[in-house]
Amino acid sequence: MKFLKRTWACIDLDQIRHNYRVIRDNVRPGCRILSIVKADAYGHGAVDVAACLQKEGTDWFGVSNLEEAIQLRRAGIDRPILILSYTPPEEAARLAQLRITQAVVGLAYARRLNEEAARAGVTVQVHVKIDTGMSRVGLMAQNGEELMQAQRQTEEICTAMPHLQATGIFTHFATADEENDTFTRQQYAHFMQIIEALRQKGITFEIRHCCNSAATLLFPDMQLDMVRPGLILYGLFPAEFMQKSGRWDLHPAMELKTAVSLVKPVPAGATLGYGRTCTAGEDMLVATVSIGYADGLPRCISNKACMLLNGKQAPIVGRISMDQCMLDVTRVGPVQAGAVATVFGKSGDVCLPVEQLAELAGTIPYETVCLIGKRVPRIYTENGQPVAALNYITPEDR
């Protein structure tokens, strides 16, 4: 498959299928799976990933906003879609037309959405969000008084807003990726308390859900009617201790590659890059590679991280610039222009995990993969062979 071999991300669809099947095999029978494909499927490319997961049988998709949902519908994705964040209420007609379910982010929001749906002559399906500990969006329910208030507000949404159809109720865990599970269990108890109180008043929901990736891994008793895996679909773990347990056989789906553009000798005493932050302590062989912070390589890992060439580590030397950076290839064997360097992923039998890059940048793998730039094409593979390409800059080259 032809694409510009400057910097590119390889997305292994076989690994995404594998990870989905691992999740499917480890959730309780009858439990639905809502695959999170927001933020362009965590940088992996929402359309191609969603098409892959729809073929695998995922029950729902989760996105952040209306435009992400529209993108999936236009690409032929017909499974139910839940928008997890805010949508302007005046978009009620499009929500109904496209069969998109909207999260209720607050009582005032629900009232406005109901009014706009009535004005448009439609009914919008919603899932009521209960805020049991994030303090972000949803009906506040973090103490006794708030629990009663959230119950009353949910009653109003379900019984007094005829243009909203509440088919689900959910919450989101704040600390499910931590080893101390006290707060997660408190959140779950509050959530179930509200559900039970509503049930006693004759109000039930088709779908109750609370498990994100971490909770799906750690709390099978909380899986309820649906789980919402995100990061684990892409073969990454929310926290290192979960990976060390070895109980879930997940495989990273993305590798990031870049090309060597130039190799040249640099004498001892020469300085490298902006700000002259690196001085050659000896005669060096330096390779310039075609990736920079505009491609998603964090500038803060300058002079800290490395890449793989010939299955060996080549340290980044000097500051990472917008479009390029430099590697010390003095001891990695023969390197010439056009050689492929691995930013994260495998080179031969050696693997450089994305978690290592994230740690050096002082962040999390979620952010690292989401920030891979839009001028980096995504190359999709099956059985080790390229089968499709996603090019954001020249989309006709596909």
304 belongs to the catalytic site? no
CB-based contacts of 231, cutoff 8 Å, min separation 6: 42, 213, 237, 238, 365, 366
**Position 130: which residue type?**
I
Measure the CA–CA gap between 364 and 370, rounded to whole angstroms. Answer: 10
CA-atom Rg of the chain in angstroms? 24
Which of 38, 42, 188, 366 is labelled catalytic? Answer: 38
| Nearest in space to 54 (alpha carbons), one of 20, 82, 6, 26 | 20
The H-assigned helical ranges of 201-250 are 213-218, 240-245
CB-based contacts of 344, cutoff 8 Å, min separation 6: 254, 255, 256, 352, 353, 354, 356, 357
Which of 55, 201, 264, 274 is labelled catalytic? Answer: 274
Q: How far is CA 189 from CA 101, 262, 295, in A?
A: 25, 59, 43
366 belongs to the catalytic site? no
User: What stretch of H or E contains 91?
Assistant: none
List the helix and strand counts (H, then E) for the chain: 12, 21
Q: Could you list the active site residues?
A: 38, 274
